[in-house]
Chain A
Amino acid sequence: MKDEEPSKWVRVSDNRWRRVTRRDLLKIAAAGAAAASVGPFANIQFAFAQQRRLTILHWSHFVPGYDRWFDGEYVKEWGRANNTEVVVDHIPFGQIPARAAAEVAARSGHDLYQHISPPPQYEPEVEDLTDLNEPLIKKYGQIELAKKSSYNPKTKKWFGLSNSWVPDPGHYRKDLWDEAGYVPDSWDNVLLAGRKLKAKGVPVGIGIANDIDANMVMRDIMWSFGSAIQNASSEVTINNKNTVEAIKYVRALFKEAMDPEVLAWDASSNNRAMLAGKVSYVFNAISIARTAEKDFPQLSPQIQIWKPPRGPNNLGGKRLGAQHVMLVYTIWKFLPDDRKRLAKQFLVDFINSWSRAFKAAELYEFPSFTGTVPDVRAQVMTDAVAARLENNPGKYRELATATQWSTNVGHPGYANAAEGEIFDTGILPQMMALAATDKMSAEDAAKWADAQIKPVFAKWKGRGLM
């Protein structure tokens, strides 16, 4: 087709053409320009009407009522008061590290990320929350183990804000232990009673496997025997005679008071074993006791709580238990500033309201900022649920002193990235298992652990985080 001035031919289908005059062309262009100019204004109008949005990632809480309260009540109230849509997502607790790694890799994720163990390895990726922690500490005070789980003394950075933590007491079958003639107040008693109870078919149930419970209790034993992975200055100290004694103790406990299945336990194994009446002593958060109250009313009065046992007197006689769960919120650095500000505002308001969270958690969580729940002791000493179901309001009284016998992973130092990696790779339970199964002597197992741990410390020190 030949173009003819002043019009042009325009193809409208395979074999159809039509003329477009100059006037048509100008009309079309003007209409298009007018439409394009309205677009940005429509967007701005839409933005003014749009609510702010805050996304939070939580684990699926052991207490379903806590999630119902937080998701269904608290965040809705806060959202209305702050013209914000708050979205709370949940994942299984075991998947928290994987999801965090994915969000860091994607440079996209939730505004508030809740970890259930200290996350020092993410320090380069998270906001410094000094501006939140320090005023809250001045206002409420903070327990030491919360500081050691969310602060890096080397970089002077608060890499997280810990709202709460979960103690890890012993659960024991009082009826069986009374028959044996002991209380689980010392590790010596645990072994002595354990021998008798194993003979009766209800052995001690402490995992020696790569799971959260075993990791905690192996640390409890090491600390109670006067040893530790690191000292307060982040130097590796595991290879010493106290560690050897702790390993020998665990070997004796395994052979004389436990069943071999503990080598293959996971986080739920001790719960199931205790509730099935298969074992007589475990370490756990009070999820076991609370589950027994709800589902096993005949067994529940026999399951009682006790502090972690003392170590041998000749090795210091310490009584120390690791925190079972350490709840720490982080805010990713890669988020836009407005989202970070909103997340910080939420955290401050949440801490100021934390007494409500304490109630919703049914004594599972304890406050990191002590002043947020001034009457913790009174509430622990008179538990309404235990009073109603078992006529035993003081069932959880041992938790009233939890801050005295609980400490952080990394004790006596901080919960640093190296300690986190050692925890995740299960080096301590492996050390104990190697000796318990006679694959190594206690001395060699301590040396083996030392050889595994030192490169991890060197790596993280090389990255400037320790």
Chain B
Amino acid sequence: MAVAERRIGPPLTALRIGGRALLYLTVVIVTFLASFPFIWMLITAFKQNSDLYNIKNNPFIFNAPPTLFHVQLLFRETLFSQWLVNTALVGGVVVIITLLVAVPAAYSLVRLTGRWGQRVGIGIFLTYLVPPSLLFIPLARVVAELSLQDNLWALVLVYPSFTIPFCTWLLMGFFKTIPGELEEAAMVDGCTRLGALWRIVLPISVAGLLTVVIFAFTLSMQEFVYALTFVSPSAQKTVSIGVPTDLVRGDVFYWGSLMAGALIASVPAAILYSLFLDRFIAGLTAGALK
């Protein structure tokens, strides 16, 4: 006679089933809300204008046959591909500059400056809170003096002014969680301070570094005021300014093409986030526990 298998774990009471169901329901609702913008963009990008504007139609389905017209207009009538390249270029260089400055800055503030490090770190972060709408005029003067007006490199110069403060503060929180004894042990074994940073701290800090990369890139990608002020030739624009310039003409919005542009530009960022989600969350919450 076969021995009946015992079920491992607490019994499936009605309460547990109900709790599970509620959890999954919450997850489904939150997932739907989070993905709704992408769903909407996807549908609108392929919807005919007459279908989109008809308030009697169900907005979530194609009441008329879908169309490629909006995507074709985006790629043929605008410099969207060039804007994507510009955005990637600016974002990439800004990420590198941010890492090169924020990592040693955060490390120094955490390890080498004692009590003042935390205060200086907060002061650095507060500069991030100054809105671009206040700074774009004086920065326009700086950019003009450097003869970078209407040049993509103006953005590479200006964007670190908000990515570095934020990322420095972010990395400070992360470096604080790394025991100083690890570096001390490395220095006892013959490493310099810089060597300990490079060989010991940075490999452990991959989550924090990825967080910085993602934040710096997306902050650069979505920035509007500086891109509008410092770059006006169409071939030099980034997606954030090129798309509204060419696809919002007077009071006429090319909704289908706008949604297609927004969707295509946001998909790489969404993929990046989801690939490194675990490490990203670890980076964000690193400073939460002592």
Contact = CB atoms under 8 A, between A and B. Distances in A.
A451 B115 CA distance: 52
Given A62-B252, A108-B149, A296-B50, A99 B232 contact: yes
Contact of B53 (A212, A276, A287): A276
Contacts of A337: none
Interface residues of A, number: 44
Contacts of B229: 98-99, 102
Contacts, number: 98
Given A59-B250, A278-B55, A285-B250, A90 B140 contact: no
Contact of A92 (B50, B234, B248): B248
Interface in B198-234: 225, 228-230, 232-234
A64 B53 contact: no
A95 B228 contact: yes
B248 A102 contact: no
Interface string A86-117: 01011111010011011101111110000000
A362 B137 CA distance: 37
Contacts of B144: 106-108
Contacts of A89: 150, 232-234
A267 B251 contact: yes
Contacts of A60: 245-246, 248-250
A330 interface: no
A108 B229 CA distance: 12
B72 to A, nearest CB: 14
Contacts of A280: none
Contacts of B54: 276-277
Nearest to B228: A95
Contacts of A433: none
B184 to A, nearest CB: 34
Contact of A98 (B49, B136, B249): B136
A284 B251 contact: yes
B252 A107 contact: no
Contact of B228 (A61, A64, A99): A99
A363 to B, nearest CB: 14
B143 interface: yes
B253 interface: yes
A268 B251 contact: yes
Interface in B239-255: 241, 244-246, 248-253
Contacts of B141: 105-107
A110 B141 CA distance: 15
B250 A61 contact: yes
Interface centre among B53, B149, B248 (most CB of A within 10 A): B53
Contacts of A267: 250-251
Nearest to B246: A60
B251 A295 contact: no
A243 to B, nearest CB: 28
Nearest to A107: B144
B189 interface: no
Contacts of A270: 251
A62 B250 contact: yes
15 contacts: A62-B249, A62-B250, A90-B234, A91-B245, A92-B228, A93-B250, A98-B229, A102-B140, A102-B229, A105-B138, A107-B144, A270-B251, A284-B251, A287-B250, A291-B252
Given A92-B248, A278-B55, 12 more contacts: A61-B249, A61-B250, A62-B249, A89-B233, A93-B250, A99-B232, A102-B229, A105-B137, A106-B149, A107-B144, A275-B53, A296-B50
